[in-house]
């Protein structure tokens, strides 16, 4: 289970993004979604409230970043400087 603002990795299968967990969400704008959550993605622009399948997110770890960097050929990390 994730808590609000936990660092996450979203691996969509076609690439990955990093961000923050917001909340588990089974309904949004009157539509039902099973096993989804909202996340804040940190990419080209800051995207809040992105709805993604919960099974596609994992805890942000160096080990997971290394595996995904090898898989997709791109490294995305949170800055430890600022």
DSSP labels for 23-72?
EEEEEETTEEEEEEEEEEEESSSEEEEEEEEGGGEEE--HHHHHHHHHHH
Phi and psi angles of residue 65, each rounded to the nearest 5 degrees, phi first: -60, -45
Q: Is residue 82 part of a domain?
A: no
| End-to-end CA, the chain | 27
Full pLDDT tens readout for the chain, 82 residues = 899 999 999 999 999 999 999 998 876 667 777 789 999 999 766 788 889 999 999 999 999 999 999 999 999 999 888 6
This prediction's pTM: 0.85
Q: Is residue 1 part of a domain?
A: no
Domains of the chain: total: 1
Q: Is residue 21 part of a domain?
A: yes
Q: Is residue 48 part of a domain?
A: yes
Structural domain including 42 reads: 7-72
Residues 22 and 18: their CA atoms lie apart, in Å, by 13
pLDDT confidence of residue 1: 84
């Amino acid at each position: 289970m994730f808590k609000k603002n936990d660092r996450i990795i979203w691996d969509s299968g076609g690439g990955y993004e990093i961000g923050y967990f917001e909340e588990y969400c089974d309904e949004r704008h009157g539509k039902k979604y099973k096993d989804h959550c909202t996340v804040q993605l940190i990419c080209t622009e800051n995207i809040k409230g992105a709805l993604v399948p919960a099974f596609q997110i994992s805890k942000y770890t160096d080990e997971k970043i290394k595996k995904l960097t090898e898989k997709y050929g791109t490294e995305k990390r949170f800055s430890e400087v600022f």
